[in-house]
Structure 1
Amino acid sequence: MFQTIDDLESGQRLLVRVDINAPVEDGVVQDNRRFARHAETLRELLDEGHAVALLAHQGRPGRDTFVSLEGHADILADHLEREVGFVADTYGEDALAAIDDLESGELLVLENARMCDDELPEEDPEVKAETEFVRTLAPEFDAYVNDAYSAAHRSHASLVGFPLVMDAYAGRVMETEYTANSAIQEREFDGTVTMALGGTKAEDLIPVIERVDDTVDRFCLGGIVGELFLRAAGRDVGYDVEGTEFFDHQWNDHRETIERILEEYDDRLHLATDLAYEGDDGERAEVDVESLEKETSYLDVGSDTAEAYADLVRESEAVFVKGALGVFEDERFADGTVTVLEAIAETDCFSVVGGGDTSRAIELYGLGEDDFGHVSIAGGAYVRALTGESLVAVEVLEDAN
């Protein structure tokens, strides 16, 4: 197990890595759940008298979301209700000067780590530890804290290089996410375990079914992955129509696997019996899968399916959720996702709801995080934890202990 911030002596100069990668609208960064979560870790560190410099990333080069972290500093300041500094540099002279000026209880946000050439290529931690990025920043600090669980599957310099050259610790988000998301591999449940799988990245979710089959008793499918399995079952659905490009490439890449899983896990897979779409009048309309023809985009599981999935949840001792069952951002097509989440919230079961988008539905529709065992802000790292795959940034933290 890794060291946590409980093991830190107070009053140190800390380099802290968080994941506040967020939506960007018209060039403006939007607040999301990740800011609030990481603010809890940062508040605790600042109250302990640490001087904190923050490393984070935003977007990828070439994309509209690849912007400066100056706006992120403002959002963090709102959450922390204290001044947050920003420097438009990551490890150059300006950054080093700003770090040198840091006082106890102060927070400084360094510029987007992905603007550094050393950051992005996926390379072994030993290679990242030798980069100029890591070798320049590390001597400026007493310790490194990784709180970026949602990026822990990435072998980038800011995530895996520093623990090899300095004392390294896990922040609160890293600690709680790792513990909760690893539960499916480490805990034993006496009753039925149900998993709801949805969202748009079927290629990430298809392997989950086989990897957790010793723990999970039944799978409730929706979203893109649900339509692809319906297509394998002979329903006229799961095809791209004009304006979409979700289905066909994933079907072509994974058809054999989908068909094999459908055959092998048939009695444990629960597929939608009805689907929802936008009717001619702009309102939600539903159709039974027995009689549908793929002429439009289906944007949610139907009401009968949602209730059937909710009933399965209520019978379960544990429920894991990855991905939304529909386009919940549009209230017309939130029924599937929200009905299942409400069933989890009202049931005394162990539950983990994972994925940034799905966790956002909890807040959007007035549900309380306290009604769930754990609400994860991770996406790719959550999937890897479910399947028992290693997380390279967690491994280097453990090795640093």
Structure 2
Amino acid sequence: MSTPTATFKTLDDLESDQRVLVRLDLNSPIEDGEPQDNRRFERHAETVRELADAGHRVVLLAHQGRPGRDDFVSLAGHADILASHVGRDVGFVADTYGDDAIDAIEALEPGEILLLENTRMCDDELPEEDPEVKAETEFVQSLALHFDAYVNDAYSAAHRSHASLVGFPQVLPAYAGRVMQTEYEANTAIAEKEFDGQVTMAVGGTKATDVIDVMNNLGDKVDDFLLGGIAGELFLRAAGHPVGFDLDPEQDLYDTQWEQNHELVEEMLAERGEQITLATDLAYEAEGERAEVDVDEIEEKDVSFLDVGTDTAEGYADVVRDSEAVFVKGALGVFEDERFSVGTVTVLEAIAETDCFSVVGGGDTSRAIGMYGMDEADFDHVSIAGGAYIRALTGQPLAGVEALKEQ
């Protein structure tokens, strides 16, 4: 198989002794006003450590939450978490491009690291606008004067056209950080690599439109789509089974999606039926335990289905073992509940023990790897991106990546 051609400059191209502005994505769950450690800190720490060890003066930008929401807080706590992963002190200033920030930036010595305040506390950061517009903002124009280079490591936010993501590449030499580089290469691999053997994609999650878009974009690259989750149940409904609708009118998981997409789902089954594998059994809760039923035996839906069945999971695992490449987008069930983790975990374990090229991503799916005792090293890439991963799979451009490509 071939490797995607580099489309942007990376840290390997960065000259020595630079004052570098680095965009990270440290957006985290907030509990009692404090950020919680997560895999993003660990991943981004690699880029930050490499830059600091090389003697650059490293200044970091990141966002947290959105204005008006409970998770819209300062980044002061984020600096401490990041420092624990980098193995160096990470200074913090409660300012982004005012006098306090500029003074702190100018005072940096080689190898020192400084985190600026939440970018979304700047009026210029939002909303999404063209890069040329963002480049003219006071935020970008004022801050860029004090830097030699810009590094974007925030792949998981790269689908946003915000000032800190697309404005600075217009006015500074711009480079991809290690997270940006590895995420881009892995998440575009399904479209850009050439595989000699079978290519399989396990597709789950909650949105039928995501599944349809992925199939439309990658139908010529993928030999077998293994379906699960809410999207998989909607496909079962299109195949004539009495599932894929809401039992509780207050819980709109299926019906609106069906009304909006059933013709597209039916067309997809008609056009790509040989590439689509649907669940043959489903799991549900009965008296507090996991119970299963064959799809062909369902006469009417009177329970909520929370996972693909064991037979389906084992069948999917067999397909994985015969594959040269496997990509995962979305969970096959409610894996956070161990009773309904069988589908997701069985497929992930099969990937881990198979000598195939593998990429796992899509929302929180990758969390199942650590949650159920698997080793990330057994996968070629575990993405920390959600929306950006979906856009990559569906062929949509990412504004932050396009800004780097234009260098």
Instruction: Bin the TM-score by the shorter chain.
Output: over 0.9
The 10-residue stretch of structure 1 (130-139 or 351-360) with the greater mean CA deviation from structure 2: 351-360
Count of residue pairs the alignment pairs up: 399
Moved more, 10-19 or 80-89: 80-89
Matched to 1:267, the amino acid is E
Q: Does 1:366 align with 2:377?
A: no
Q: What amino acid sits opposite 2:33 in the alignment?
A: G
Q: State the AA in 1 paired with 2:194.
A: E
What is the identity percentage for the equivalent residue pairs of Structure 1 and Structure 2?
72
Q: How far apart, in 2, do the equivalents of 1:232 and 1:27 lie?
A: 45
Q: Separation in 2 of the partners of 1:202 and 1:69?
A: 35
**Structure 2 matches for 1:141-290, cutoff 5 A?**
141-242=147-248, 244-280=251-287, 282-290=288-296
Which runs of no fewer than 5 residues in structure 2 stay unpaired?
1-6
CA displacement at 1:102 relative to structure 2: 2.0
8 Å contact 1:33–1:360 — kept in the other structure?
A: no
Equivalent position of 2:85 in the other structure: 79
The answer on whether the counterparts of 2:94 and 2:116 sit within 8 Å (CA) in structure 1 is: yes
User: 1:2-401 residue pairs with structure 2 within 5 A?
Assistant: 2-242=8-248, 244-280=251-287, 282-292=288-298, 293-400=300-407
| Counterpart residue type for residue 344 of structure 1 | I
Task: Tell me, in whole angstroms, the C-alpha distance in 1 between the residues paired with 2:74 and 2:209.
Answer: 31
CA-CA distance at 1:356 after TM superposition = 4.3
Q: 1:96 to 1:217 in 2, by over 3 A?
A: same
CA-atom RMSD in angstroms: 1.6
Distance 2:184 2:340 in 1: 31
Q: Deviations over 1:18-76 (max 9, x none)?
A: 11222223433222111111011111111011111111112222333222222221211
SS of 2:326's partner is strand
Q: Structure 1 residues 61, 202: closer, same or farther in 2, change over 3 A? A: farther
Instruction: Out of 155-164 and 94-103, give the one that drifted further.
Output: 94-103
Q: Cα offset for 1:132?
A: 1.0
Asked if the contact 1:46–1:104 (Cα under 8 Å) also holds between the matched residues in 2, the reply is yes
Per-residue deviation, 1:204? 2.4
Equivalent-residue separation in structure 2 for 1:31 and 1:247 (angstroms): 34
Residue aligning to 2:4: none
Q: Relative to 1, partners in 2 of residues 1:65 and 1:268: Cα closer, same or farther, differing over 3 Å? A: same
Q: Which runs of 4+ in 1 moved over 4 A?
A: none
TM-score by length of 2: 0.94
Alpha carbons of 1:111 and 1:184: their partners in 2 closer, same or farther (altered >3 Å)? same
Answer whether contact 1:206 1:225 (CA < 8 A) is retained.
Answer: no
Structure 1 unmatched runs, 5+: none
Please report the TM-score for the alignment, with normalisation by the length of structure 1: 0.95
Q: What SS is found at the alignment partner of 2:128? A: coil
